[in-house]
Amino acid sequence: MDLPTTLAGFPNAAPLAGLARAWTWSLGPVLHFAGAVTSDRRRLLQTNQRGRHDEDLARAVLALARQREDTLIGQGRPIAAVRGFSATGYAFDAVVATAPEVHGHHRAQNPDLTAVTYIVFPAFEAEVSGRESLEEAQARYQKMLSPAEIGREAVPFLKMSFDNPRTGGGSANDGRALAYPRTLRQEVPQLEGSPGGFVEWENRVGEVWRVAWDQDWVLRGGEGEQRGLSLDEVLDFADITLRVGTPLEDPEDS
């Protein structure tokens, strides 16, 4: 496939100023796209924007994605991220790439293009672990992150399980499963007065904690066990664990 010819033939296609071998195109006033051909000229790095549109942001995303394409798309991960991103007016600090089997773009009209397209988008370092299974990567991309919304807020990576004998609530799955941070904050307070219950969570670097109620709050994980914490302290600690951790791999350091 001749990627430059294919991209130039898209609706409203035009070269993306300031970035070689890159184009923009759009479908009406709502959907905006930009793509850059990789250094081997065999694959497409594509970024999508829905509604609010910022070409400078798209250019910055594609520039970093091309610079670090070996880490983003060269290691066979369904979803991968690199840190070090910044763009004026945005809090994003990473760029994420998803493999063809995760996003499925172009499948209806140009399936040959799907196989060589990697969707890249501005993101937050806390959102991707790099250990996601294909199904988890699909869930993150298709349901949880809203990657085409450039005004979105961070959705930190979280896997959790819980059981609450008092309320009857609990996980429907075996082991920890992807969840929204708001679910963690909702379930922890429900443990008060429910001995035998627990909430367990894992952040993007694989650190695991468990909180339970035994006359007071009991937090286990990391360096051991803590008691005597208030509910607010437990919730604040949980928030911190989802925001910080070992930095993403930096290809310049590897």
Which domain-ending residue is among 80, 111, 144? 144
pTM, two decimal places = 0.91
Lookup: tokens for 85: 């991103």
71-105 confidence digits (pLDDT tens): 999 999 999 999 999 999 999 999 999 999 999 99
**Quick check: is 152 in a domain?**
no
Q: What is the mean pLDDT of residues 62-70?
A: 97
Lookup: tokens for 44: 């497409």
Claim to verify: residue 41 and residue 108 sit in the same structural domain: yes
Strand partners, 178: 159
Claim to verify: residue 191 and residue 109 sit in the same structural domain: no
203-219 confidence digits (pLDDT tens): 999 999 999 999 999 99
The secondary structure of the chain as a DSSP string is --HHHHHHTSTT-EE-TTSTTEEEEEETTTEEEEEEE-TTSS-EEEEEEESS--HHHHHHHHHHHHHTHHHHHSS--SEEEEE----TT----EEEEE-HHHH-TTTTT-HHHHTTEEEEEEE-GGG--S---HHHHHHIIIIIS-TT-TTPPP----EEEEEETTTTEE-SSSS-EE--HHHHHHHTGGGTT-TT-EEEEE-TT--EEEEEESSSEEEEETTEEEEEE-HHHHHHHHHHHHH-SSPPP-TTT-
The lowest-confidence range among 20-24, 128-132, 171-175 is: 171-175
Claim to verify: residue 208 and residue 127 sit in the same structural domain: no
Which domain-ending residue is among 93, 120, 144? 144
Distance (Å, whole) CA 181 – CA 203: 10
Query: Is the predicted pLDDT of residue 56 greater than 80, yes or no?
Result: yes
Query: Is the predicted pLDDT of residue 172 greater than 90, yes or no?
Result: no
Residue pointed to by tokens 């479908």:
27
Q: Residue 88 CB: number of other CB atoms within 10 A?
A: 8
Range of the domain at 36: 3-144
Question: What confidence category does residue 24 fall into, taking pLDDT thresholds of 50, 70 and 90?
Answer: very high
Claim to verify: residue 83 and residue 169 sit in the same structural domain: no
b/e sequence 20-41, b meaning 16+ C-beta within 10 Å = ebbbbbbeeeeebbbbbbbeee
Query: Is the predicted pLDDT of residue 222 greater than 90, yes or no?
Result: no
Largest CA distance in the chain: 68
Predicted confidence at residue 250, as pLDDT, reads 45
Question: What confidence category does residue 247 fall into, taking pLDDT thresholds of 50, 70 and 90?
Answer: very low
Claim to verify: residue 15 and residue 117 sit in the same structural domain: yes
Predicted confidence at residue 36, as pLDDT, reads 97
Claim to verify: residue 137 and residue 215 sit in the same structural domain: no
Which domain-ending residue is among 144, 169, 196? 144
Claim to verify: residue 48 and residue 103 sit in the same structural domain: yes
**Quick check: is 177 in a domain?**
yes
Claim to verify: residue 163 and residue 129 sit in the same structural domain: no
Domains: count for the chain: 2
Query: Is the predicted pLDDT of residue 135 greater than 90, yes or no?
Result: yes
Mean pLDDT of the chain: 92
Claim to verify: residue 139 and residue 81 sit in the same structural domain: yes
Claim to verify: residue 35 and residue 124 sit in the same structural domain: yes
Q: What is the mean pLDDT of residues 1-7?
A: 90
Claim to verify: residue 131 and residue 171 sit in the same structural domain: no
